[in-house]
Amino acid sequence: MAMRTSTFQWLCVCGSGLIALTGCATGKVRFDGPASQRDMSRYNSVAVRVINDVGDKCPEGVAENLQAATIRQLKTEHAGVFADVRPVPTGQEDELLTDVHITKYKKGSRFARYMLIGLGPSQILTDVHLKDSASGALLRSGKLDLLWAIGGTVGASKGIEDLVDSSGKKIASAIAESRVGKGGT
């Protein structure tokens, strides 16, 4: 009986450790400067563009998927923050233009992560620029860096597609928080 309790305790500790390590893909957009620099309450619409700055290292479709994930989150999880959310800027006075630049992309390997923690990590790094659409003036600039490097079954369960979707959620949250005054950090 003592052996079963010991094995059970060991499994609980290991399981807890795996849950704690899944935080490798957490993070948020880190903006430069204080949020109070600019009042963004006048922006009633937002346009989101995603630019691939790494060329062939980033496969076709990733920028489009990141844009779609960001727009989807703004329309669902942050509905009501902006009256209109679109992929193409119009240059209107009340439009906030968000340019997301993919500055690093690494697909990684699910199999390598399954074999050992730290092998085959997936990573996406973006620069996020909030601009006045009419003038092009930069209002805020920030970065988001997501890395997935956990090992074992948990590490193999997520791929770069999951990081792209997670990046879209985090970028949408940062845009919405900037508009309503929370501003992130």
Residue 139 within a domain: yes
Cα gap 25→169, rounded to integer Å:
12
- CA–CA separation, 82 vs 130, rounded Å? 14
| pTM across the whole model | 0.80
Residues 113, 156: Cα–Cα separation, whole Å: 6
Residue 146 lies in a domain: yes
Are 85 and 71 spatial neighbours (Cβ–Cβ below 8 Å)? Answer: yes
- Per the domain annotation, does 62 fall within a domain? yes
For the chain, the domain total comes to 1
CATH code: domain of residue 48: 3.40.50.10610
Tens-digit pLDDT profile for residues 3-32 = 455 655 544 444 444 443 443 556 789 888
* Domain membership flag for residue 116: yes
Q: What is the pLDDT of residues 29-87, one digit of tens each?
A: 988 876 555 678 899 999 999 999 999 998 889 999 999 999 999 999 999 999 999 99
Whether the Cβ atoms of residue 86 and residue 47 lie closer than 8 Å to each other? yes
96 assigned to some structural domain: yes
Digit-coded pLDDT (tens) for 78-99: 999 999 999 999 999 999 999 9
Residue 4 domain-assigned (yes or no) = no
Judge whether 126 and 169 are in contact, CB under 8 Å: no
What's the domain range around 147?
27-180
Cα dihedral across residues 78, 26, 145, 106: positive or negative: negative
